[in-house]
Chain A
Amino acid sequence: MSDPGGIAVARARDAGQPQPGGQRASTLTLTFRDVVKRFGPVEVLHGVSFELPPGRIIGLLGENGAGKSTLMKIAAGYEAPTEGGVELNGQPVRLAGPRAAEAEGIVLIHQEFNLAEDLTVAQNIFLGHERRRGWLLDDAAMRVGATDVLRQVGLVVDPDTPVRRLIVAEKQLVEIAKALARKARLLIMDEPTATLTPSETERLFALMRQLQADGVTMVYISHKLDEVERITDEVIVMRDGGVVARDATANLTRHQMANLMVGREIEDLFPPRRELPDAGGPPLLAVRGLSVPGWAEDVSFEVRPGEILGFAGLVGAGRTELFEGLLGLRPHRAGRIELAGQAVRIRNPREAADLGITYLSEDRKGKGLHVSLGLAENLTLMDLARYSRPLLQRGAEREALKQAVADYGIRTGSLSLRASSLSGGNQQKLALAKVLQPRPRVVVLDEPTRGVDVGAKRDIYFLIERLAASGAAVVVISSELMELIGLCHRVAVMRAGRLQAVLPAGQLTEEALIAHATGTH
């Protein structure tokens, strides 16, 4: 860099916090050299090499499962590369953990928040970097420091507020403030605007420009291509564990970006849209005035047999919680739920399953699959009554597994493995097979392709379409707008717990969905 060393030292001193080593350069060039990462037998990064030059805002694009997050976790010290490595300003380094990375000025803002809920905003901002006076913590200095960074991100909140009391968007801003307090030289942001309102997003962009002027490098991961187009200088596209394109943002259209991410013309990814027969008879599922306290208020919608109804919205809009409420997984107040014209009451998932309604959770490892149990045990768990007379028929379970492996294209070496040994995409197919095993009439699929590579994604879309074509009513909750646009007959958009609009297939565009989801319509 052309920056003379003297200025860099002066800047570090201005920052008020003596840096380890005392004289690190104010800017940072990070280079990935042939980075390979394997989780067990599954290789998720196949030799990635590129450089992040200082003072640039770089958009990192790719579908879920493309390897962006893993690569960024390697940069920030959360994961170690299996092969290859990271260079900082041309020097190979081994980042032993996030603390080591932060000492180098590399800060990753997680998509899932990394905040200690019971600590205050100020305590979180300085977590692991507490200011001290002798043996004791210097709370006053930390409160002042916190107020300062909070002002920069435009969050008006008392630094002594416990993080638990903040709403999701405020937590996101606290995460960004935390990164500022770390004096980041390389700031990696994973979907930072997913929960922000347009005005908060504007403020974040202004802050990013200001940081850029200070020489901070930023990696901006987002699925909102319009934002990528606006804020980034350069775009790097990853697909299936490798970099497929790198170009100045100005040279790419949004459509080109999307095609690069997916790796083919998007239309190919989805099954041809099937016309719904004209409405005759009652909808299969009709929900009137469903409320889930704290999450969703007075939501009404209906799904017809054979229909795929999408649910769009920002993180925290209450989509998952709405359906968890419907299934009896959360307390809910419903005006009326009708199944094929009959009023029903659903108090728990068992009653829902008995009525023919099942739910695929967005959280595969936490709520979807027993990763430490076998494949057959997972597959038949929701439908065990069919296999017990009264002793379990193991042979029948195994037959069902064979059938599911064939039907759902689950790639597995053996039928007697544990679910944990399947790759993410195949785990997702197994989770899907599991909720479809009881042959539900209504099925709610929450982020059905999360963490799944493109090939598996396409398989899942065709499975969903086949399911709907057979007469089931399908609800798809997704944060991937392209998925909703390509797959659904209608898309309902939620914002802050309320249903904003239900758009028919003809009106489905990314712009329209984002506008309704953010309330800027």
Chain B
Amino acid sequence: MPPARTDTQAPSRAAWAGQWDRLHGYGPVVGLVLLCIAGALLNSDFATVDNAMNVLTRTAFIGIIAVGMCFVIISGGIDLSVGSMAALIAGCMILLMNALLPRGWAPLAVVAAGMAFALLLGASFGLAHGLLITRGRIEPFIVTLGTLGIFRAYLTYFAGGGAITLDNQLSDAYSPVYYGSLLAIPVPVWVFALVALAGGIILNRTAYGRYVQAIGSNEQVARYAAVSVDAVKVRTYVLLGVCVGIATLLYVPRLGSASPTTGLLWELEAIAAVIVGGTALRGGAGSIAGTVVGAVLLSVISNILNLTNIISVYLNAAVQGFVIIVVAFMQRRRP
């Protein structure tokens, strides 16, 4: 009797939906665990400490940017320029450091100045974005689409179409920032962990983080509740800019140069990490932990493709794309 059965099914379906909702938050974690098991089965090199550190180090750049991006997206914004911004910051800090060295500065002092400059530049770019978006009342998509082009074009111009290379003497002084480790864990992984921890605390345990969520959930309600919407929004872009600065100052010692391809498509990877981590692109709700898992998950995929030859490495981006779409499909709101 189909009609009779629908009655008894309704509550069990509701219960199942509740279970599903609870599982929802763990989706990315479950996915990551499954991927790691698959990776371990496919290649014996996968489940080694070396490989794990390698993956985490590579994740650090995108992961740090994704933490900042998480704030911007939760507040209802977006920043498409982070890859170009990283390239321009890299170029500018190298130029500055190369210029300071002949003035008799100690290499370590030069590196410290370069790092401070990277943070300052990131914060300034973020401030410019925030002001254009709030005071200028331009859509964040448009503003950062514009600066995406501007930043990369200036880097290409400064580099004369080629690459800007760090002085060898400075490279040596700077390299521990990328290649060094502390307690057997690479420096970038430490920094990533600290940034993520700080991000989580700011988002979940401070008034500012609450305001970010309130604005993304409904900006009008936040405005009527006496939240200084513009100031909060500007700060999310500054925060992201600083995160880009941190990622860049970790990245520069890796290659010691900046070229027009530096940071290419980082914006997409960072946004993808945030979305895969369960943050809704329309804003309002999201988590730093999810973002971290999302970033790691994406780089585990490319790591597995590198280590195995089931799927061509050339299809790396395609696999990531499929993962993003599948995750979005699973996380779509029930109507």
A426 CB within 8 Å of chain B: no
A353 CB within 8 Å of chain B: yes
Smallest beta-carbon distance B137→chain A, Å = 14
Tell me whether B227 and A391 are in contact (CB under 8 A).
no
Complexed CA–CA distance, A391 and B228 (Å): 19
Complexed CA–CA distance, A382 and B225 (Å): 5
Tell me whether A349 and B224 are in contact (CB under 8 A).
yes
Complexed CA–CA distance, A366 and B225 (Å): 12
Known: A370-B218, A373-B217. A384 touches B210 (CB 8 A): yes
Tell me whether A392 and B210 are in contact (CB under 8 A).
yes
Tell me whether A329 and B207 are in contact (CB under 8 A).
no
Smallest beta-carbon distance A231→chain B, Å = 37
Chain B residue with Cβ nearest A390: B206
A31 CB within 8 Å of chain B: no
Complexed CA–CA distance, A369 and B225 (Å): 9
B254 CB within 8 Å of chain A: no
Complexed CA–CA distance, A164 and B214 (Å): 31
Chain B residue with Cβ nearest A363: B220
A495 CB within 8 Å of chain B: no
Instruction: Out of A369, A370, A382, name the residue touching B226 (CB < 8 Å).
Output: A382
Known: A373-B213, A373-B214. A353 touches B226 (CB 8 A): yes
Instruction: Out of B206, B210, B211, B223, name the residue touching A349 (CB < 8 Å).
Output: B223
Complexed CA–CA distance, A391 and B208 (Å): 10
Residues on A with beta carbons closer than 8 Å to the beta carbon of B226: 348-350, 352-353, 358, 382
Complexed CA–CA distance, A390 and B206 (Å): 7
8 A Cβ contacts from B213-251 to A: 213-214, 217-218, 220-228
Complexed CA–CA distance, A240 and B211 (Å): 37
Tell me whether B205 and A377 are in contact (CB under 8 A).
no
Number of chain B residues close to chain A: CB under 8 A: 21
Known: A348-B228, A352-B226, A382-B225. A388 touches B220 (CB 8 A): no
Contact with B along A335-369 (1 / 0, CB 8 A): 00000000000001110110000110100001111
B284 CB within 8 Å of chain A: yes
Contact with A along B275-310 (1 / 0, CB 8 A): 000000000110000000000000000000000000
Known: A372-B284, A392-B207. A329 touches B223 (CB 8 A): yes
Contact with B along A124-150 (1 / 0, CB 8 A): 000000000000000000000000000
Number of chain A residues close to chain B: CB under 8 A: 28
Contact with A along B198-213 (1 / 0, CB 8 A): 0001000111001101
Chain A residue with Cβ nearest B231: A350
Complexed CA–CA distance, A359 and B225 (Å): 8
Complexed CA–CA distance, A361 and B217 (Å): 17
Residues on A with beta carbons closer than 8 Å to the beta carbon of B207: 384-385, 387-388, 390, 392
Complexed CA–CA distance, A359 and B220 (Å): 13
Chain B residue with Cβ nearest A377: B210
A interface residues, Cβ below 8 angstroms from B: 329, 348-350, 352-353, 358-359, 361, 366-373, 377, 381-382, 384-385, 387-388, 390-392, 434
Given A329-B224, A366-B220, A384-B207, 20 more contacts at CB 8 Å?
A348-B226, A349-B224, A367-B221, A367-B223, A367-B224, A368-B221, A369-B221, A370-B217, A372-B285, A373-B214, A377-B210, A381-B222, A381-B227, A382-B226, A388-B206, A388-B207, A392-B205, A392-B206, A392-B207, A434-B225
Q: Which 7 A-B pairs have the closest CB atoms?
A: A353-B226, A384-B207, A349-B226, A388-B207, A391-B205, A367-B224, A381-B225
* 23 cross-chain CB contacts under 8 A: A349-B223, A349-B225, A353-B226, A359-B224, A366-B220, A367-B223, A368-B221, A370-B218, A372-B218, A377-B213, A381-B210, A381-B214, A381-B222, A381-B225, A381-B227, A382-B225, A382-B226, A388-B206, A390-B207, A391-B201, A391-B205, A392-B205, A434-B225
